Structure 1
Amino acid sequence: MVNVPAAALDSLNGLAFGDAFGDRWFGILRRNGPAALDARTLPPEPLWRWSDDTAQALVLVRELAEGGGTIDEDRLALRFAASYAEDTHRGYGASMHDVLRRIGAGEPWREVVAGQFGGLGSWGNGAAMRAAPLGAWHAADLGTAAEEAARQGAVSHHHPEAVTGAVAVALAAALATRSRGGSAPTRPDFLQAVAERLPDSDVRSGVRIAARMPERTSVRHAAEVLGSGYRMSGPDTVPFALWCAAGHLDDLHEGLWSTVAGRGDIDTTCAVAGGVIAARTGVSALPPAWHTAREPLPPVVSEQEPERERVFGPSV
């Protein structure tokens, strides 16, 4: 067991804020339409519960801590299944209910995951939604960040686009972490730095398109061009979420409001953007009301009890 790097803790916390904040908006938009979003009215619920995005990111950080920064795929698969069994009501997608139940019942995870969707595997955004803290952890070595992100992604998502989405998010978080204490890179430079390290894929094409968008591009237009997760796939989630993050690398609060305005799979786009931005900024600048409302995170590793209380608040 090793200490969790501060940037990884910051990224995990930012991911949880984005996830919990974004998840509240599904109900608000159904009830009230976009008026509350346009007015930036805070979600009224007294507790902003986080979803499977955060639940799986917690599992991933614990796996990194136990493995000294390295993923053991067999152990991680069992960790995901065990976390799911402890709380199945965190908004898991339909295919993940099947995958995690079968892994928990003892079926080999490689066979289960590879057999999804007629043998193509899932190309959903679940591998990407949890990857930012891993990138922050391995910020000193972008090659390792990409490799470990791909390995953790393959545990649940067999399709190469889903895995590439996870790599893109991890690289973005690593680059954000590397910029701590200095000037933030421009949005085009940041996105191009991510894209140039990705394999040929729809995800890479989307990130490249995002990098070329004019500075005046509106959030709504970016969401229409890039996709904002309506298909819940890696290619139509990651480029938009990274575009939002790249434009707000010094302002997590504004970054999350911008991301949620794109609608779509709001908890996941906000989780990705929050995890990337917070890898650079931390979360202390968020309004006190947000810190009060968001569901606290449970322990990450037991050795860090004092630090955990400072960063996350009391355990649930």
Structure 2
Amino acid sequence: MSRTVPPPVLDSLRGLALGDAFGDRWFHPPVDEASAEVASRLVRPGPWHWTDDTAMALVLVCHLRAHGEVRSAALAREFAAEYTAVPHRKYGPSMHQVLRAVHAGEDHVAVTGALFGGQGSHGNGAAMRVAPLGAWFADDLAVVAEQAERSARATHAHPEAVAGAQAVALAAALAVRSRGELAVPRAEFLHEVASLLPATDVRSGLRIAARLPAGTSVRHAAVVLGSGHLVSAQDTVPFALWSAAGHLDDLVEALWGTVAGWGDMDTTCAIAAGVVAARSGTDAVPPAWSAAQEPLPDL
């Protein structure tokens, strides 16, 4: 049975895709040039193509529309089918390995668990795609955490990757639940997300993020928390959620603030924008940005 996609889920997905495409455009200019352009709010020229972050988020939303819940084995096969159809979306090295093996018929649990000497991947791929899931199940935070774990385990076996996905999904759910109310302070928002997580480096990173003083610069936050240079959940999620939590009512400013942390910019921007848009929607996005962005398929 095909379900209607709730409006906050579509908002989160659209925000995620915008952040992904916006952030991806900043990888190539020299840092000095790019820093000046970000400071001056000069957007990069289009077209802004989205990457694997959005491709996998689309698969996840379509999966929820079809099943109403996450079925990890089926989701893994659907990720693999999308990858096989369009493999040029900048998937990470381990995902090439996982998705090719799953597409060839191997068991996703065995494949993901065998990575990195049997530890599994703690990459940020499970976190980058999951914000719309948090918006989908926002009525029940325990369900959000459970479903986010299932979605992560389709491709990532490591507890940090699972915690990263749970953190982003819970942040998106809290953003949806706060629609129509005043945004909570950054520290309070981050503490609440952390309180719902298992004991992991991701949780510790969020607690550190919550303790950063008001007025902390983006660059300082990125140095303290990490902004995805290691492409791990624990090196990506705390910064992305710190950025989102400081701009819950301003999607555009959230993107400028997030990209100024450099690092894995398509993913940090996708995470932050997926969370913020779950609360704010995307109506305030400049028309020129929407025109530059690669369109999403009609859901």
**Is TM more than 0.5 here?**
yes
CA contact (8 A) 1:28 1:43 kept: no
Equivalence map 1:243-254=2 (5 Å)? 243-254=242-253
Conserved in 1, the CA contact under 8 Å of 2:134 and 2:148? yes
Measured against aligned partners, the alpha-carbon deviations of 1:62-106 in whole angstroms (never above 9, x if no partner) come to 0111112x1111110110000001111101001101110111011
Answer yes or no: is the 8 Å Cα contact 2:26–2:34 preserved in 1.
no
Question: How far apart are the structure 2 equivalents of 1:86 and 1:283?
Answer: 29
Distance 2:72 2:156 in 1: 12
For residue 140 of structure 1, give the secondary structure of its aligned residue in structure 2. Answer: coil
Q: CA RMSD in A?
A: 1.0
Contact 2:175–2:275 (CA under 8 A) maintained in structure 1: yes
Q: Which amino acid aligns with 2:51?
A: S
Moved more, 99-108 or 269-278: 99-108
Aligned to 1:15: 16
Q: How does 1:84-163 map to 2 (within 5 A)?
A: 84-163=83-162
Q: Which amino acid aligns with 1:167?
A: Q
SS of structure 2 residue aligned to 1:41 = coil
Is residue 60 from structure 1 mapped to residue 38 from structure 2 by the alignment? Answer: no
Task: Tell me if structure 1 keeps the 8 A contact 2:45–2:292.
Answer: no
| Deviation by residue 1:11-55 (Cα, 9 ceiling, x = unmatched) | 00000000000000002346944222222211113x100000000
With structure 1 as the length reference, what TM-score do the two structures score? 0.93
Does residue 1:39 correspond to 2:24, yes or no?
no
Whole-angstrom CA distance in 1 between matches of 2:146 and 2:291: 36
Residue equivalent to 1:312: none
TM-score using structure 2 length = 0.98
Partner of 1:221: 220
Q: Partner of 1:59: helix, strand, or coil? A: helix
Partner of 1:308: none
Partner SS state of residue 97, structure 2: helix
Separation in 2, partners of 1:35, 1:183: 33
Q: Which residue of 1 aligns with 2:254?
A: 255
Map of 2:238 onto structure 1: 239
Q: Secondary structure at the match of 1:82?
A: helix
* Structure 2 match to 1:204: 203
Amino-acid identity (%): 60
Q: 1:9 to 1:29 in 2, by over 3 A?
A: farther
Q: Do the aligned residues in 2 keep the contact of 1:259 with 1:270 (CA within 8 Å)?
A: yes
In the alignment, the residues of structure 1 paired with residue 13 and residue 171 of structure 2 have an alpha-carbon distance, to the nearest angstrom, of 14
Aligned equivalents of 2:21, 2:30: Cα separation in 1 = 15
Aligned residues: 298
Are 2:258 and 1:297 aligned? no
The equivalent of 1:230 in structure 2 is 229
Deviation by residue 1:154-177 (Cα, 9 ceiling, x = unmatched): 110110000000000000000000
**Separation in 2, partners of 1:72, 1:201:** 24
In the alignment, structure 2 segments of 5+ residues that lack a partner are none
Partner of 1:305: none
Name the CA distance, whole Å, in 2 between partners of 1:43 and 1:29: 13
Report the secondary structure of 1:25's partner residue: coil
SS at match of 1:26: coil
